[in-house]
Amino acid sequence: MSHSSEIQPKDIAKPVDKLGEVYSLMVLSAPYDKEGMEPDLKEPKDSWKTKFCASLDGFIALDTLVRPSTSEEEDEFVQKFINGLAKLFADSNNNFLQPLQLTMDYCAKCNTCSEACHVFEATNRHELYRPIFRSEVFRKIYKKYFTPGGKLLGKFVGADIDINWESIARLGELAYRCNLCRRCAQTCPLGLDNGTLTHEIRKIFSQEMGIAPTALHTKGTELQLKTGSSTGMNKLAFLDTIEFLEEEIEEKTGRKIKIPIDKKGADFLLTHNAGEYLAWPENPAAFAILFEEAGLNWTLSSSMIGYDNVNYGIWYDDTMARKVALQQFEAAKELGIQRIVIGECGHAHKAGIVSSDRMTYGEDKVRVESCLPLLWELVETKRLTFNPEKNNFPVTLHDPCNIVRHMGIVQPQRNILKAICPQFREMTPHGVDNYCCGGGSGFAVMQSLNFPDFRNKISTRMKFQQILNAFDEELVTNTDIVKYVCAPCSNCKGAIRDMLEYYQATDRFNIHYGGLVELMVNALTTLEQPYLTFTDE
């Protein structure tokens, strides 16, 4: 079975090598409309097919979901899933139960949500990626096991589904074909949320079955709880990194800045996604330059997890998320600080400001806020002064879903860009209607097996098209000019970095990406040298 329109949710258990094949993709606009402008998709290796679940669409996200070798193992796998399903609908799942139950009970199958989904659109509307395909599979399983009608009447009440290793494993894989961007939820006339439902499927796999992508769990949350950071950076390495940043700042700007660490009595604790220190150190360095020039009373923390605001648990496992959140609050409390400011990381915004608030109680809590309103305040009140001519090249803005659609922080970042970038232009659509970068919900850091192909070719495709649209004039008239995609989010930057490399867009068309604060520092009137350097200039 592979032709998209023939696939139905009840087919999820069908004994075929691949339930669906991605044959055609949304055509990209010029100059990417020609043959040879992007790599072809490859078949998964035979050894992967026998070891993992490649039978959904050929991609493998769950590198810890291994095929059973005995029928007992298969039975145990199915039973654990059913046990987990029961727990989702228990009162103890109090943060998620209501939206989950509503989404299960009230879908009108109107398909308004389908058109909102970039994965569905990127695959020329492949049935497997229709938001309610996944929900309907889940709904059928639920009905079969947990409703009196489903147990007795089966297919007559929509519980027509076979349950075995293949069907549950495919559902697990399907839960990792969704970026949890919740653009679909925003459009649903009934307010139903297929993203939350997907999150809940991931939760069963992790909390009940011990199955989650290695990049998120073992090399993500577990490593963070063990060493202090999902990057594996311990306290000593963090302190070394800060010294390195100070040297870099001096070399680039001539300024001797002592970056404050563990400063008691600071007004706020600034936290970064620790990936920034390793992949984009110019970003935390830019924060330090701006905050020092503005004379703010701030600090970083060197405590366990106090220097890494990552919380991958929010994508797959509430228990893990809560453990990380508590440690992050603790780092602030140790310094007597009651205000944490989150740097440029989207999921850390949602994890720190929204999710952590719901997962903690009373004195555990610390006030957490976004860096973006603070940065805009520094611009608006002229505590910092800028020469926009220094940023006189085309700039567009990616809206990280977690910050913008999920939290409603829409204006500060674009107000700043309007003030400091004369050639700023919006993507279409933008703001709360933005499309996900394609790296959301952990995809940006999931690099195992052939999953990067899914991300680069499919889940980021709509964002790449938006970037091409934003620079459409320059892509024809001025391919050499620097073009800058501003993405104030660490994970989005990771996805955009890999996307630009996959499509060779930097080499071919001089398209670059980076954060917001780097553009701010680049435009500071007090800085003599450019802060941003572009390799192709």
Q: How far is residue 476 CA from its own chain's centroid? A: 31
CB of 195 to ligand SF4, least distance (A): 3
DSSP letter for each residue of 314-355: HHH-HHHHHHHHHHHHHHHHHTT--EEEE-S-HHHHIIIIII
> Angle 360-365-369 (CA atoms, 0-180°, nearest 5)?
110
Query: What is the smallest separation between the CB atom of 425 and ligand SF4, expressed in angstroms?
Result: 25
For residue 138, the minimal CB distance to ligand SF4 (Å) is 12
Q: For residue 275, which of 241, 325, 226 has the smallest C-alpha distance? A: 241
Q: Peptide bond before 400: cis, by omega within 30 degrees of 0?
A: no
- Of 427 and 527, CB closest to ligand SF4: 427
The DSSP secondary-structure symbol of 4 reads G
* Closer Cβ to ligand SF4, 188 or 520, answer by number: 188
Angle at 356 between CA 351 and CA 362, to 5 degrees: 165
The nearer residue to ligand SF4, 174 or 296, going by C-beta atoms, is: 174
CB of 194 to ligand SF4, least distance (A): 5
Q: Which residues contact 160 (CB under 8 A, 6 or more apart)?
A: 10, 140, 154
User: Could you tell me the smallest distance in angstroms from the CB atom of residue 435 to ligand SF4?
Assistant: 9
In the complex, the smallest distance separating the C-beta of residue 443 from ligand SF4, rounded to whole angstroms, is 10
Least Å distance between CB 181 and ligand SF4? Answer: 4
Smallest distance from ligand SF4 to CB 179, Å: 4
**Helix, strand, coil % over all residues of the chain, rounded to 5:** 50, 5, 40
Shortest approach of ligand SF4 to residue 187 CB, angstroms? 6
CA distance 160 to 140: 7
Residues making contact with ligand SF4 (CB under 6 A): 107-113, 116-117, 119, 131-132, 178-184, 188, 190, 192, 194-195, 198
425 and 523 Cβ atoms separated by less than 8 Å: no
Total Cβ atoms within 10 A of residue 354: 15
Burial label for 71, CB within 10 Å (0-12, 13-18, 19+), is exposed
**CB-nearer residue toward ligand SF4: 188 or 289:** 188
Which one, 41 or 201, has the nearer CB to ligand SF4? 201
Measured distance CA(84)–CA(89) in Å, rounded: 9
Q: Which is nearer to ligand SF4, 137 or 269 (CB)?
A: 137
Tell me whether residue 461 or residue 512 sits nearer to ligand SF4 (CB atom).
Answer: 461
Q: Name the residue nearer to ligand SF4 (CB basis): 116 or 141.
A: 116
Q: What is the DSSP secondary-structure string of 49-66?
A: HHHS--TTTS----TT--
Our CB check for ligand SF4 shows the closer of 56 and 192 to be 192
Q: In DSSP terms, which residues pair with 433 in a beta bridge?
A: none
> Which residue has tokens 């706020």?
268
Backbone conformation region of residue 111, classed left if phi is above 0, alpha if psi is from -120 to 50, else beta: left
Please identify, using beta-carbon distances, which residue of 76 and 115 lies nearer to ligand SF4: 115
Q: How far is the CB of 185 from ligand SF4 (least distance, A)?
A: 7
